[in-house]
Amino acid sequence: MFASQDPDPRLAAARTAPHPCASWPDNGQGIRDTIDRVGDKWSILVIGILGSGPLRFGALYEQVPGISQRMLTLTLRHLERDGLVTRTSYPEMPPRVEYALTPLGEGMRETAYAFVQWATDHNPEIEAARLAYDTRTTR
């Protein structure tokens, strides 16, 4: 599959010994899910908001602009399943449910924060690059 034939010796070299770190530590296995959890539309927002302290469903619903009830429910379920968020329901009338970050979730939040920070800092460059690209290809 790999060693069958190699017209270009550079390809063989590139495949066998490129650099110490050819890619990510994991690459393509379980990490995918964790990244997806952060990459999905709402999770990071929820985690960011919960970083300031526990909140009820309704409060969360108000603080995440544009989310639907369904998506908020699903997002919270996923986060709970992954051990990032705890769900505490108080059997009262009317029902009250509070969501809070676990220590694991707090760690995730801090790590994600670093990336958000980077994205914020470099957003101007990225926007500029997009503008340049668009004008270049449109013209």
Partner DNA sequence: CTGGATCCTCGTTGATACTG
Partner DNA sequence: CAGTATCAACGAGGATCCAG
Beta bridge partner(s), residue 85? 101
Q: Please give the backbone phi and psi of residue 59, each rounded to the nearest 5 degrees, phi first.
A: -65, -45
Asked if 113 contacts 119 with a C-beta cutoff of 8 angstroms, the reply is no
CB of 70 to a second copy, least distance (A): 19
Measured from the Cβ of residue 90, the count of other Cβ atoms closer than 10 Å reads 9
Q: Give the interface segment with DNA, choosing from 20-28, 90-98, 103-111, 114-122 (CB under 7 A).
A: 90-98
76 in contact with DNA (CB under 7 A): yes
Q: By rule CB under 8 A, what string of x and - marks binding of each residue 21-60 to a second copy?
A: xxxxxxxx-xx-xxxx-xxx---xx--xx-xxx-x---x-
Query: For residue 18, is the peptide bond before it cis, meaning its omega torsion is within 30 degrees of 0?
Result: no
Q: By rule CB under 8 A, what string of x and - marks binding of each residue 89-128 to a second copy?
A: ---------------x--xx--xxxxxxxxxxxxx-xxxx
Beta bridge partner(s), residue 96? 90
For 85, the 3-state DSSP assignment is strand
Total residues in contact with a second copy, by rule CB under 8 A: 66
Among 15, 68, 73, 95, contact with a second copy (rule: CB under 8 A): 15
Token pair in block for residue 134: 């668009």
**Interacting residue ranges for DNA, rule: CB under 7 A:** 40-41, 56-59, 61, 66-71, 73-74, 76-77, 87, 89, 94-97
